[in-house]
Each structure stands twice: as C-alpha cells, then as structure tokens.
Structure 1
C-alpha cells in the first residue's frame, strides 16, 4: 500500500506539472491509475484464503502449543487471519480467538479439540466443522 501511495503522489505531481504547466497530454499519465485500478480489482476479485486452506498451519500451531510449556501465545498471524491469542484448554483443546475488528464482549474463533466437543467458557457455543475442529462463539458475561 505504501508503494501505491508513493506512486500515486509522484503521478499526481508530475501530472499536474505536465497538464498545468506544459498544457499538453502525455501517454505516461495513463499507466499509473490503470495499475492501481488493476491491483485493487485483483484484490477484490480473488477470494481470501479460507480456514480450510489454512487448517494445516492452524493444526501445526495447535500441536506446537500443546507440546510446549506455554499456556498461550498472543498476536499470531496464520495466513490472512489475525489471531488475538491461542490458548490451551482442558482435555487437549486449543482455542484460537480471532482478533476483533471492534471492541466487543463476544469472542469468535476456532477450537482444536481432538477429544470431542470443546467445553468452552462463559456463554459458549460451537459448531463442528470437520475433524478435530470447531468454530465457536463466546459471549463474555460480567
């Protein structure tokens, strides 16, 4: 994004100079906005990776956490997913809490639970999505 912003700034300055000062049109004016529109179109048209595509990385992280003495890991990035934290639960469960876009009392994420449905915390509900994986929602009660 920084490269696009710098390119846009340089393009704007040069375009204003050529069109305003020289009062002429040049073909070099056109490629930059076309490149920006092309990059934005590709970004919007290509779907982001899904959880299923990133499942091996989630599973590796769960196994690493279960094998370590750590109880949790914070601020993880798994593909396009920003994980606020991953923490060990009871019975070999690992909870991956998705980073919220807004401050909220609701947590959503995924649970790696090879020994059955995860127990959860507070007002917890989960949906089985395949193998040892569950998608969950937890509403924190105070």
Structure 2
C-alpha cells in the first residue's frame, strides 16, 4: 500500500504543476499506511520486544519518495524521456500568428497535450493534468520568457527553466 501511494505521489508531481486528484488520493493513503505502521511497530516491536527488519521498508519508501519530490526528480526524469518528442513537435508545427492555436499531437512523449499556441518568441504547450485551478505546461522559448508572454488571458505566467530553450510554466487563463 505504501509503495503504490508513494508511486502515485511521484507521478502526480511529474507534470508541470501537479495532478491534484492523485495527490488528494495518495496523501490520505500514505497517512493511513503510516498509522498502520505505527500500530504494527507498537504491537509487535515494542510490546513483544522483538525487532524485525520488516519494520524498515515503509519508512524507507516514504523517505525516498519525499527526497525525490524535494529534489524535483519526478518532473525532471519524465521530462528527460519526453524532451526529444517535444523538440520534434516544435520542428513540425506550422507557422502561425502569436496567440493562435496551432495543431499539435494530443500526446507528446509521455504527456497529454490539450492545446498548443504560437506565442511571442516560441511555442506554449498546455498539458492536460498540470494544475487543477490554473493551467500548466511546457514552453519552447529560445530567447527565454519575456513580459510579452503575459496578456489578458495568459495571466501571471511563472516559468521554470528545464534546460536549453525549454521551460515549464503555470498560469491563469
């Protein structure tokens, strides 16, 4: 149970924002698993005064998952596997005017894309599971993010550099 919940939590943070529903499901399961682990250790370890190596896997799994989350490994690993597919998609996109929807594959690498837009200085891809209340995705911006990217419907974009001309972003629409 702990391993599955930790894997769900890691997957939830492998998108540009985070997958709210996966987090909402995984955190309570991890909490229940932690409570069950404490009861198990107290009942079989403390009361019977017997140490068992079987007490270790659950806290190790949780500590490892938290360390990976803090280091940003889930997004970086998934992005690394998908980056070449995004680069290929950018190379095949037709030219267009800024802020107009351009046709893009619904899946690029391991990400589900719901929209792509030409923007001043590059292309913005909106990812399907990036955020619940705002939008999130990836941006190809060879010159980096500029103030021209914020308009009336793409409000307060926040960019995080992923390497090269690539950024992850979150924003209000």
- TM-score, normalised to structure 2, is 0.45
- How is 1:45-60 mapped onto 2 (pairs within 5 angstroms)? 50-60=78-88
The answer for the alignment partner of 2:123 in structure 1 is: 94
CA distance in 2, matches of 1:124, 1:80: 23
Of structures 1 and 2, the one scoring higher in RCO (CA 8 A, sep 6+) is: 2
Match of 1:14 in 2: none
Aligned structure 1 segments of 4 or more residues deviating by more than 3 angstroms: 67-71
Say which structure is richer in strand.
1
Quick one: structure 1 residues 122 and 99, their matched pair in 2 at CA, closer, same or farther if it must change by over 3 Å? same
Q: More helix by proportion, 1 or 2?
A: 2
**SS in structure 2 opposite 1:50?**
helix
Greater C-alpha radius of gyration? 1
Pick one of 114, 127, 150 that aligns with 1:84. 114
Q: Secondary structure at the match of 1:73?
A: coil
- Give 5+ residue unaligned stretches, structure 2: 1-73
Alpha-carbon distance change, 74 to 63 in structure 1, aligned in 2, over 3 angstroms: closer
Q: Secondary structure at the match of 1:97?
A: strand
CA shift at 1:68, angstroms?
Answer: 3.8
TM-score by length of 1: 0.54
Does structure 1 residue 63 correspond to structure 2 residue 91? Answer: yes
Q: Is the 8 A contact 2:123 2:141 kept in 1?
A: yes
In the alignment, the residues of structure 2 paired with residue 139 and residue 116 of structure 1 have an alpha-carbon distance, to the nearest angstrom, of 19
Q: Which residue of 2 aligns with 1:33?
A: none
Pairwise CA RMSD: 2.7
Instruction: Give distance in 1, aligned partners of 2:130 and 2:140.
Output: 23
Alpha-carbon offset, residue 90 of structure 1: 1.0
Structure 1: state its 5+ residue gaps: 1-46
